[in-house]
Structure 1
Amino acid sequence: MRSLADQLTKKLSKKATAVARERLTPQTKRRIRKVQRLVLGQHTASRTRHGLAAARACLGSGEYEEAAVHVNAVLRRNPTDSGALEVASRIAIKRGAFTEAGHHAVRRMERTRDPVHWSSGRKLVGRTRETDPRWQPVIATPLPAPYHPRPGRVVYVAKESRPFLHNGFCTRSHESLQALVRAGRDVLGVTMPGFPGVLGIDEPPTESVVEEVTYRHLLPAAGRPLLALGLDEYVELTARMLAGLVAAERPALLHVSSGHRGFESALAGNAVARWAGIPWLYEVRSFFETTWTDDPRYAERGEYYERRFATESRMMAAADLVVTLSGPMRDEIIHRHGIPAEKVRVVPNAVDVNRFVPQERDLTLRHRLGLADTFTLGYVSNLSHPREGQEVLIEAVAELRAAGRSVTGLLVGDGNRRQELERLAKKLGVARHVVFTGNVPFDEVAGHYAQIDLFVVPRVDDRAARMVSPLKPFEAMAMRVPLLVADLPALAEIIGSGARGQAFTAGDPGALAAAAARLMDNESERKQIADAAALWVATERSWSAVAAAFGAAYDDLLATSPARHEALATANGSTAC
């Protein structure tokens, strides 16, 4: 504590200063205030620079909560600082706080009046608008009256299609549609606006016919320019374009499959079905709420995750029927999304056993891939999403090689994580023993399956991986390639009690290596697994069975559609939604 003398001295000093100020001229006082403001401004600017530098450093190192503390301190001192608002918006995006991010972006735009800032702010606001429970797409065009659906006609809405893409999503769509057409169903495929022009295809067609399936493409030539729209604007555009197609084709039913974010195609489909007064089916292909980020700390928490989850739930509730891929997915939809059990059906993935058949290995291809005289642990999948867990397979290969096992990892596919995975293989000293093929033409995929001794699905434990059943294991089973999968519910359902494949602890390279080593040493067990799996997919996982299940769902919905159509038409007054 200060002494009494110190306190008296301070008081006397303040008094003397006050007396001195009283004797100053007004001009001198103004000069003093100007100098004080200059010194204070320099001090504030210095604190702002240091605060922003600390915020940017924390942002770069992934310390988002600490970054937010630093930038918020800057904004308390200067709420309109453009640089601080930009950094604050970026930090909020990383944390999944998109309402906050949009707020900062709008204030920045108001401060700078920069069109680029306006565009980025509008896009952020669009993310929160499309997930607002009070918002839905508006179709301003009156419903053509009277609307007489063509009996049995179905419009199947898919985000993308063959012949331009051959991923798992397009495979399920196309094989389902082809089997439905062969079963005599009147179905028409339609892709989301901008496809396939968004892929950079010159002169994209408005219609594609692939085998027996017809796909209509909405605004295909618009392509990449549509990426400039806010997400809510794109959903509104989708609803209006789809409404035009429905008015022309007059389907009795809409079948809507998950979009890029899951719910966006359902938002458009729901608006159009209500407008036309027809039932709609929502095919939930995955759980996309976590795909907004690659950071596992934020994937399943925070505002944006919760908004996406709630929007998905609303769309499931709005649909007349929900179809999904597996038992675990159905349980999730019932118990976490709150959808009545009688409203949710499972239509599993399947395989074309005529396309994927056991075949002799192409020895030329084997030598070109560097697989000669080695046991091959392979996986066919994209290299874009962390949930696929290719790291676990690479680390297992390193452990097996260290134990003296002659093994090679074969990763068929490509994606934006390829360089990261290649760096990991190099770091672990197995770069020569992990083969990355890149994209493989669809007609050559089966030949690459034939190079695999043990098909490994190394998915890690996240929400979608736990629930979603992938297609590739069924293709491997049809080709009699034995399965080794992570012990996640959706994968465990595929291998059953273990007769159709073996499992290892998800995310554990040591467990994968141990299970692979045991199967390497037991050729007869590998053969038993492969034979049992091939018989199961041939009898239980055909696309004709998928078509039959979808057909039954269509019939059940169409049986109630006349009364529903009349009720909705009356409620809507055959006008805008």
Structure 2
Amino acid sequence: MTLPIPTPPHHPGQVLVVTNDFPPRQGGIETFVRSLCDELPDVVVFTARMPAAAEYDAALPFPVVRDRTPMLLPTARVTRSAVRVMREYGAEQVVFGAAAPLGLMGPALREAGARRIVALTHGHETWWAGTPGTRQALRRIGDAADTLTSVSGWCEKQIAPALSPGAAARMRRLTPGVDTSRFFPDCGGEQVRKGLGLEGVPVVACVSRLVARKGQDTLIQGWPRVLAVVPEAVLLIVGGGPDRARLEELARRTGVAHAVRFTGAVPWADIPPYVDAADVFAMPCRTRRFGLEPEALGIVTLEASAVGKPVVVGDSGGAPDTVKHGETGYLVDPYNPVATALRITELLTDPARARAMGEAGRAWVRTQWTWARSGRLLRELLDVH
């Protein structure tokens, strides 16, 4: 099947983004890649087929070419398609939205004329680095790219030993940013509270996909300790996912079902008001599967700080990068419900401290975690202006 690619005029310095992670599919990497596209002067995206893509793509200010498959893999056919898109659009720089496995196409794109190649790493490349077969593949990806990026210091430490010395020396930290025009204090929380019947009630929110790694069960297990001090407190669990039934049953068995509210899945565009509805944001994320499933960073924690909320975050992978312990919130042992509940209770019973931490977090995000800053670095790595 031939890709329907129009032939546009050549734009020197145009960037080809090759990715499986792109809207309308929702997720942290999808948001990361999409936001970085806005920071590039000329970009074309080559990505997978997915539902509702045509309408989404039509509203974008740059072209998107969709493959016929729902997942891109570095097969010979997909590689030929990527080369064709690159040549049709005159792209001279390539960004792999996630280094593994699509970065294995790097040598072919280089041979086809790519001048600079940047491969973004996130969390899953850490287990590639620790597994013998995939470790060798990751080494090849690193050698084919001009730069591999990492989202956190922890991720870099896990990935670098799997690379050749030269590729490891070329790694750079490229963190996601926070859109402070969407995430800001009073961005709709009162309306959410009113709609949920939570006006005047202390609220702790966890906004995340419902999977075991995010630690919602730690919050539920610790909630009796919170209620013992703050009887009217409500735990608001925002998001959908496969763990919901288990979490609901855990809340019933723990005797706190009356104080735990599940919203179900919330569209990405509607997330900020749910964060704003909280007095405290908590996500005691944890590392699972013998270290192969960590939290690479946790952008939602930074989004909560941007809204001016104190945060309680689990010590997993790169998550410590998202909180200044004792200043913007607390880092906790995600396997200790009592310790987690203690920190939450401290914040609920000391509004002045909670407010100061939220203000410090917002100031930190506004200066150090911006998409403009991330975009400048990516343009530097690609040598585009």
TM-score, with structure 2 as normaliser: 0.87
From 218, 224, 227, the counterpart of 2:67 = 218
- Contact 2:117 / 2:146 at 8 angstroms: preserved in 1? yes
Alpha-carbon separation, structure 2, partners of 1:372 and 1:207: 36
Q: Give the match for residue 475 of structure 1.
A: 303
1:120-172 CA deviation, whole Å, 9 max, x = no partner?
A: xxxxxxxxxxxxxxxxxxxxxxxxxxxxx85311101221323x234222211
Q: How far is the alpha carbon of 1:290 from its aligned partner?
A: 5.0
Q: How far is the alpha carbon of 1:346 from its aligned partner?
A: 0.5
Q: Give the match for residue 93 of structure 2.
A: 253
From 33, 53, 65, the counterpart of 1:173 = 33
User: For residue 81 of structure 2, what is the amino acid of its counterpart?
Assistant: M
User: For residue 343 of structure 2, what is the amino acid of its counterpart?
Assistant: A
Alpha-carbon separation, structure 2, partners of 1:386 and 1:235: 32
Q: How far is the alpha carbon of 1:465 from its aligned partner?
A: 6.3
Alpha-carbon separation, structure 1, partners of 2:331 and 2:45: 37
Q: Give the match for residue 140 of structure 1.
A: none
- Contact 2:310 / 2:357 at 8 angstroms: preserved in 1? yes
Q: How far is the alpha carbon of 1:364 from its aligned partner?
A: 5.2
Within 5 Å, which residues of 2 pair with 1:127-142? none
Aligned residue for 2:249, secondary structure, equals helix
- Taking a change above 3 Å as real, the CA distance of residues 354 and 404 of structure 1, as seen in their structure-2 partners, is closer
Q: How far is the alpha carbon of 1:270 from its aligned partner?
A: 4.1
Q: Give the match for residue 41 of structure 1.
A: none
Alpha-carbon separation, structure 2, partners of 1:406 and 1:290: 42
- Contact 2:26 / 2:268 at 8 angstroms: preserved in 1? yes
Q: How far is the alpha carbon of 1:235 from its aligned partner?
A: 3.2
Alpha-carbon separation, structure 2, partners of 1:369 and 1:282: 42
Q: How far is the alpha carbon of 1:176 from its aligned partner?
A: 1.3
Q: Give the match for residue 237 of structure 1.
A: 77
User: For residue 171 of structure 2, what is the amino acid of its counterpart?
Assistant: V
- Taking a change above 3 Å as real, the CA distance of residues 501 and 441 of structure 1, as seen in their structure-2 partners, is same
Q: Give the match for residue 530 of structure 1.
A: 358
After alignment, is 499-508 or 531-540 more displaced?
A: 499-508
- Taking a change above 3 Å as real, the CA distance of residues 362 and 187 of structure 1, as seen in their structure-2 partners, is closer
User: For residue 375 of structure 1, what is the amino acid of its counterpart?
Assistant: P
Within 5 Å, which residues of 2 pair with 1:243-282? 243-258=83-98, 263-276=100-113, 278-282=115-119
- Contact 2:235 / 2:260 at 8 angstroms: preserved in 1? yes
Does residue 554 of the first structure (1) align with residue 382 of the second (2)?
yes
Q: Give the match for residue 7 of structure 2.
A: none
Q: How far is the alpha carbon of 1:464 from its aligned partner?
A: 6.4
How many residue pairs are counted as aligned between the two chains?
A: 373
Alpha-carbon separation, structure 2, partners of 1:160 and 1:176: 12
Aligned residue for 1:208, secondary structure, equals helix
- Contact 2:117 / 2:382 at 8 angstroms: preserved in 1? no
Within 5 Å, which residues of 2 pair with 1:50-61? none
Alpha-carbon separation, structure 1, partners of 2:79 and 2:187: 49
Percent identity, aligned pairs only, is: 22
Q: How far is the alpha carbon of 1:424 from its aligned partner?
A: 1.6
Q: How far is the alpha carbon of 1:431 from its aligned partner?
A: 2.0
Q: Give the match for residue 92 of structure 1.
A: none
1:11-30 CA deviation, whole Å, 9 max, x = no partner?
A: xxxxxxxxxxxxxxxxxxxx
TM-score, with structure 1 as normaliser: 0.59
- Taking a change above 3 Å as real, the CA distance of residues 375 and 210 of structure 1, as seen in their structure-2 partners, is same
Q: Give the match for residue 79 of structure 1.
A: none
Greater Cα radius of gyration, structure 1 or 2 = 1
User: For residue 267 of structure 2, what is the amino acid of its counterpart?
Assistant: P
Runs of 4+ in 1 over 6 A off after TM superposition: none
User: For residue 161 of structure 1, what is the amino acid of its counterpart?
Assistant: F
Within 5 Å, which residues of 2 pair with 1:90-109? none
- Contact 2:126 / 2:159 at 8 angstroms: preserved in 1? no
Q: Give the match for residue 188 of structure 1.
A: 44
- Taking a change above 3 Å as real, the CA distance of residues 313 and 376 of structure 1, as seen in their structure-2 partners, is farther
Alpha-carbon separation, structure 1, partners of 2:293 and 2:354: 25
After alignment, is 489-498 or 439-448 more displaced?
A: 489-498
From 156, 162, 174, the counterpart of 1:347 = 174
- Contact 1:174 / 1:213 at 8 angstroms: preserved in 2? no
- Taking a change above 3 Å as real, the CA distance of residues 458 and 177 of structure 1, as seen in their structure-2 partners, is same
1:59-105 CA deviation, whole Å, 9 max, x = no partner?
A: xxxxxxxxxxxxxxxxxxxxxxxxxxxxxxxxxxxxxxxxxxxxxxx
Unaligned runs of 5+ in 2: 1-9
Unaligned runs of 5+ in 1: 1-148, 292-299, 560-577
Does residue 457 of the first structure (1) align with residue 283 of the second (2)?
yes
Alpha-carbon separation, structure 1, partners of 2:125 and 2:269: 29
Alpha-carbon separation, structure 1, partners of 2:294 and 2:326: 18
Q: Give the match for residue 95 of structure 1.
A: none
Within 5 Å, which residues of 2 pair with 1:155-174? 155-162=16-23, 164-174=24-34
User: For residue 172 of structure 1, what is the amino acid of its counterpart?
Assistant: F
User: For residue 388 of structure 1, what is the amino acid of its counterpart?
Assistant: K
Q: Give the match for residue 5 of structure 2.
A: none
Q: Give the match for residue 409 of structure 1.
A: 235
- Contact 1:361 / 1:450 at 8 angstroms: preserved in 2? yes
Alpha-carbon separation, structure 1, partners of 2:201 and 2:56: 46
User: For residue 30 of structure 2, what is the amino acid of its counterpart?
Assistant: C
Q: How far is the alpha carbon of 1:210 from its aligned partner?
A: 4.2
- Contact 2:94 / 2:114 at 8 angstroms: preserved in 1? no
From 357, 361, 377, the counterpart of 2:184 = 357
Q: How far is the alpha carbon of 1:472 from its aligned partner?
A: 0.7
Alpha-carbon separation, structure 2, partners of 1:337 and 1:266: 13
- Taking a change above 3 Å as real, the CA distance of residues 363 and 546 of structure 1, as seen in their structure-2 partners, is closer
The alignment yields a C-alpha RMSD, in angstroms, of 2.8
Structure of higher RCO (CA pairs closer than 8 Å, 6+ residues apart): 2
- Taking a change above 3 Å as real, the CA distance of residues 336 and 496 of structure 1, as seen in their structure-2 partners, is farther
- Contact 1:207 / 1:215 at 8 angstroms: preserved in 2? no
- Contact 1:466 / 1:489 at 8 angstroms: preserved in 2? yes
Within 5 Å, which residues of 2 pair with 1:319-398? 319-340=145-166, 341-359=168-186, 362-363=189-190, 365-383=192-210, 385-398=211-224
- Taking a change above 3 Å as real, the CA distance of residues 367 and 189 of structure 1, as seen in their structure-2 partners, is same
Does residue 311 of the first structure (1) align with residue 129 of the second (2)?
no
